[in-house]
Every structure is written in structure tokens, then in C-alpha cells.
Amino acid sequence: MSQTSSSTQVITEELRQWIVEQATSGQPPDAVLQSMLASGWNEDVAIVALEETLRGFLSEHALKNGLPPPVVVPEPMSLDRVPLLDAGDRKVPVLASMLNPRIVVLGQLLSDDECDELIEQARARLHRSETVKLDNGGSEVNEARTSEGMFFERGQTPLCRRIEERIAELVSWPVVNGEGLQVLRYGPGAEYKPHYDYFDPAQPGTPSILKRGGQRVASLVIYLNTPERGGSTVFPDVRFEVAPIKGNAVFFSYDRPHPMTRSLHGGTPVLAGEKWVATKWLREGRFD
Ligand code: PD2
Ligand code: ZN
């Protein structure tokens, strides 16, 4: 596969086949892109060819195997692997990242003062946390989730707006596709057992939930304090654990509502002290 003249580069069937062969033999997309650039492909053409070919291949694979088709999801990292991401009003360090499942651990997304202010705004409005009721889309108290919580409306306070805009910039996803921030408080012993954040397509209540904004495609759990002990966020499928450090956050995305995304995650029991988090869920479409 070689190509020299950038003005006449055409995405041929032969190129598509080569890209699929590379991907199915385990080459990460970035490595395939680097090979294409080394063979003289223009970067813009190469990225379009890669994205279109792999999306087409994955959709076909999903259709053949009875899986939901993948969708485009928010993404905080450029292909340039920069260690500091531009979030508009600040640079956010990438502390760790994983491709499958897609997880990015972020440093200091919120300042200490912002964390404290968000806790104070939420404190008086906490209720025992409820989860979405799967049969009809309502909500109910759930034993798997022993925290207290509250939802802000999107844009409800100047602080909410600042955080929402920062997140939108960071992951290149419209503010209007975001749910309002949720704040949770876990006391000693409280936990959130492993679950998926997307809505289960097999549940009868899901179509009604999806009318507003479509599926959830990514989550950000932002730590508002540092518990004395316990309270990490875990991804059991890959045995990955994120320490809850005040101001830091863990981002993860899931391109379809299916366990194959390996986005199963939970909050481990708080063993000493308390734990406060803000969760931001991003939808496929406008959440109005
Ligand atoms: O608080 C957490 O660590 C946590 C873990 C899993 C929060 C959520 N899920 C959530 O809010 O969805
Ligand atoms: Zn969750």
C-alpha cells in the first residue's frame, strides 16, 4: 500500500480491505494511521478513510451478529497524545487512559473551591438516591445504591454552567446533549454496586426514556472530596480502579448499549469518612 500524490488520493476498495485487515489483526487505529502517513497518504484523507471504513465495518459486524450498531461518542483525547487537554478556561492533565473500555482519568477538572461550592449548593437538597425504574422509566430507591443524591437542572447556577461548558469543551460534545449534574454523597459503608450507565434496550421503560436525548454515550464521575479510605470507582471487566481524589475525574464512553463495551463500573464501599461525587451523563442527542 503506497501513495504519493496527495491531490489525487482516492479511498479505493483495496485500501478499505487493507484497513479492515490491519484492524482485525489487532493493529490500533493510530498505528494504521501512522502506516498510511508513512506511505504518503495525506493526513485528512487518511483519517476520513480510516473512520469511514472502520465505522462501516463495525456496523456490518453488529448487524450480522444481532448487536446494537456503534455510534459516535464524546472523546477527550486527540490523536496527538497531548498530556494537557484544553478545557477552555483551563488545561486538564490526562493521568491515565485506556482504549477498551474507553476510560480517561483526568486531574484537577475542578478546583478545590469549585468542589466545596458544589457540595454546599447540593447539601440541603440531598435525598436517598433513586435509580431509573426499568419497567416504566420512573425512579425508585435501589439497594445497590446506598448514597444520597440530588440533580441540578442543566445551567441551574453559574457554577453549573461553568462546569458544563468546561466538560463540553474537553470532550467536544454539545452542552445541550448533557444531563444536569448529579451530586451524590456516600456515608461510611455506602457503595454503588457495578452497573452500566446506559439504558437497557431490553427493558420496557427504555423507549420512553430515550425520547429525550437518546441513549447515554459517556459518563464523567468527578470527585468532590478525598474520602479517608475506600470509595474508588472500579471497572470489574478489566480490574481497573480509580482513586477518588478531590477535583479529579474519570471519563468513560460506551458506543452502544451493550456489555461488549466493558463499561461495567461501580463505586466501592466507603470504609472511613464520606465521599462526594458529581456525575455528568452525556446523551447522543439534545437533552431538552
Ligand atoms: O461514585 C462513584 O464512584 C460512581 C460509580 C459508578 C458513580 C456512578 N457510577 C454513577 O453516578 O453512575
Ligand atoms: Zn454509574
Same domain, 56 and 88: no
Model pLDDT, residue 107:
97
Q: Can you read off the three cell numbers belonging to residue 210? A: 430515550
Ligand nearest to the CA of 147: 1
Structural domain that includes position 105: 84-283
pLDDT of 57 higher than 90: no
Residue 4 has pLDDT above 60, yes or no: no
Residue 27 domain flag = yes
**67 alpha carbon, distance to own chain's centre:** 20
Looking at the fold, whether 53 and 113 belong to one and the same domain comes out as no
19 falls within a domain: yes
Residue of 208, 221, 246, 239 whose CA lies nearest to 110:
246
pLDDT tens per residue across span 110-129: 999 999 999 999 998 998 77
What average pLDDT does the segment 214-241 reach?
98
**276 or 20: which carries more pLDDT confidence?**
276
134 pLDDT more than 70: no
Backbone angles phi, psi at 261, to 5 degrees: -75, -15
Q: Which atom of ligand 1 is nearest to the CA of 250?
A: 3
- Do 46 and 111 reside in the same domain of the chain? no
> Residue 49 falls within a domain, yes or no?
yes
In a domain, 71, yes or no: no
Question: Could you tell me if 120 and 45 lie in one domain?
Answer: no
Averaged pLDDT for residues 86-103: 95
Cβ neighbors of 163 (< 8 A, separation 6 or more) are 110, 114, 118, 181, 278, 280
| Residue where the block lists cell 451524590 | 184
CA 219 – CA 253 distance, rounded (Å): 6
Residue 126's nearest CA partner among 151, 160, 109 is 151
Query: 133-147, 155-169, 201-215, 228-242: which range is least confident on average?
Result: 133-147
Helix (H) or strand (E) holding 21: helix 13-24
- Report the pLDDT averaged over residues 270-283: 97
- In this structure, which ligand is nearest to the CA of 234? 1
So what's the pLDDT on residue 59? 86
Q: Which amino acid is at 277?
A: V
Q: Provide the CATH number for the domain around residue 157.
A: 2.60.120.620
Is pLDDT larger for residue 9 or for residue 4? 9
Ligand 2 centre from 275 Cα, in Å?
A: 15
> Closest Cα partner for 120 from 167, 168, 159?
159
Which ligand 1 atom is the nearest neighbour of the CA of 186? 1
DSSP codes of every residue in 197-208: SSPPTTSTTHHH
pLDDT attached to residue 70: 92
Q: How confident is the model at residue 27 (pLDDT cuts 50, 70, 90)?
A: confident
In this structure, is residue 257 part of a structural domain?
Answer: yes
Residue 213 grid cell:
436525548
- Domain tally for the chain? 2
- Same domain for 59 and 164, yes or no, is no
40 pLDDT higher than 90: yes
In a shared domain, residues 122 and 35: no
Give the helix/strand (H/E) hosting 235.
strand 233-235
Pocket test for ligand 1, best of 182, 216, 233, 276 (most atoms within 8 A of CB): 233
Residues enclosing ligand 1, CB less than 6 A?
A: 184, 192, 197, 219, 221, 233, 265-267, 277, 279
232 shares its domain with 153? yes
Residue 44, pLDDT score = 87
* Model confidence band, residue 205 (pLDDT cutoffs 50, 70, 90): very high
Residue 16 sits in the same domain as residue 146: no
User: What is the band of 1 on the pLDDT scale with cuts at 50, 70, 90?
Assistant: low
Ligand 1, atom 9: nearest CA belongs to which residue?
266
Report the first-to-last Cα separation within the chain, whole angstroms: 47
Q: For a pocket test of ligand 1, which of 221, 241, 246, 281 has the largest count of ligand atoms closer than 8 A to its C-beta?
A: 221
Instruction: Tell me if 78 is assigned to some domain.
Output: no
Which pLDDT score is estimated for 128? 79
Residue 223 clears pLDDT 50, i.e. is over it: yes
Which of the residue ranges 1-10, 143-152, 189-198, 253-262 would you say has the lowest mean pLDDT?
1-10
Instruction: Report yes or no: 104 and 97 within 8 Å, Cβ to Cβ.
Output: yes
Residue 181: inside a domain, yes or no?
A: yes
Residues 22 and 123 in one domain: no
What global pTM score does this model have?
0.87
Domain membership of residue 24 (yes or no) is: yes
Residues 255 and 187: their CA atoms lie apart, in Å, by 33
